[in-house]
Structure 1
């Protein structure tokens, strides 16, 4: 198979390119800019384009498939040439389905927790030496790539993202996968630029549930009203509800209690314990019993940027989390306070996504950081200009979060100065962002704080 990637440098795209290369495909690709770590990883496998830029002359009728990334535009010259030649053009989720349509597909969706839960299922399968294909949205310990596709693996485990598939395919990604086993962690409005209303957003999850294969299974969090409605309308599939698994907190470590047994875990927080319980039910569907699952989960440390411990000493821990939406922000902040009851919490978050920087969406953040002892919100006005969004002010942010002592900063140097001035004695620091605070080396910063 000869496959060409338009916008090969994307996070998902370069991982799929590597996966197909390892499967024996003839893979080529183009992009107008490729950043790390994509650049080094493509280069390692001999897939890095020799020069950046679009080259329509390399699009020929000898190609079996074109895979189009979200970074490309509708008027991309390579895309136009492929359309002119009548080549088959796939989005990457569509191609993932194409490669796994004869396998048993497991898909984890939801507005939050889907990366972590997918990682949990993958961790357990790997611990048990089960053969499986996968796609997950973060780099995981013990896995070389974020995508794996093979000829013989009987199972495929996918993180089910609700964002759009490509510039010419406005299908939410998870609608492509048609799972046999599906899990939904919860619904909280996100991606306002694509789904402008709550009703429009939630309808995507209804369509996902409707796409589950006949006699399949939907596992869902039962404390979510919208998911209860979606599950109640399913008549052709099995539905299984879950909630927070029982546990105790002993000196800062979470001990799961199950069937009279105790299982010490590396993870913590109600949200993670809900994810764990859902992952348990997913693994039950794959023939894995509860005791085997929980024993395997004891060595799970989490996914990158999901309550990732960056540094610790005797009196302080510093964590990095991907949290940026209101529900994620509140759950992550709450988890830190629940786990470390004797420590103060400094929480810092960056408004970076389209939705979070939208003035109309900001009120969704009301009270989300109230559990932190000190709270900081950072945003860069230049990012608003880049995203062509209306200006927001520090007062807009202060009013939206509903916390009078909230510190709002727009300069990363000021943020660094403030963080270095804090006392970290018996205090944890939680850094939450889907960006990098306008170019900060976060890991280097943490080494200077404690």
Structure 2
């Protein structure tokens, strides 16, 4: 059966953390196409790589004829989800959230088809119903169904309550009810029967399933996905450090590409399953070829090419490859001005120079050398390169010909220590 195959494929792609009543969901899908949704709160002006898997999962359902809905939480963004946060989120102002919603809506269009007949994707905004809701009615009709005892025993809430330094405000405590209400409204307005989200959303999704059943006597379902975790063990988030953004102004296509290239040998094949539309058979063949040729860079390049192309297009992939070649194989051919701007943004360290510094001082300013004396020793030992050409003159002053596009010079110590000089 096609729909059973979809669930099994999601599992094979390591894209299912938890799933409520699999048999019931399959039975529902056998009756015809379903409507499903995933929610995103608007707490920054861009999505990040932690959002890619939920969007790709929506796309996999859409390709089989189901209708995906993306809920942008303009209202819930004013509250903040406390799930597995150690401290209360900083409140954002309404004007910023409205502007950020427009930015995020544009990014979502990279992943889903909004012109596909009856199963075209839609974006909805929960401010449309929360902006009109009556507080007393909400407490009577929704709040009465929830036990405080059960809510405080949710793992994400319990951690905050038991924290010595940080409790949980009533504002954040109420978030669970708001997300649960979202599910019930989407069921009523759009016949949504499935919510997907990261595994940290399991408690909120379960509450939405519970409330929808209480209000409409209807069984709905939830599916959670594994979280993408940073090297420090913390999930990627809009309010975390080290975030890899989808907006090229916040994370350059080059840095985005390098993130995937730098994944470990052990995880790359699971990431190919989760984050690409390559068939499982194709991925198995890539793995066999990689092992046979002892080439573990090959699958990483396929991974980076696929995901960067999806988010930044072929131009983004080409730019990332040009810059990579420039840095790692020392080829200056075909670099364009925007490539240097990406390097300056987040590719390598950079330093601004006034124009009267000699090579020794540039090495000190760029922290490639701790002192002018050390700089002289490095130059004398042929360890310093200007635009990938070794420079042996310890009294060297930069020339106009060293300034690519009249603005940039690549300074390198050894093979891997780079700094971009900006004039």
TM surpasses 0.5: no
Task: Kindly indicate which of the two structures has a greater share of residues assigned to strand.
Answer: 1
Q: What's the TM-score, normalizing by structure 1? A: 0.28
Q: What's the TM-score, normalizing by structure 2? A: 0.29
Task: Kindly indicate which of the two structures has a greater share of residues assigned to helix.
Answer: 2
The answer to which structure, 1 or 2, has the higher relative contact order (CA under 8 A, 6+ apart) is 2
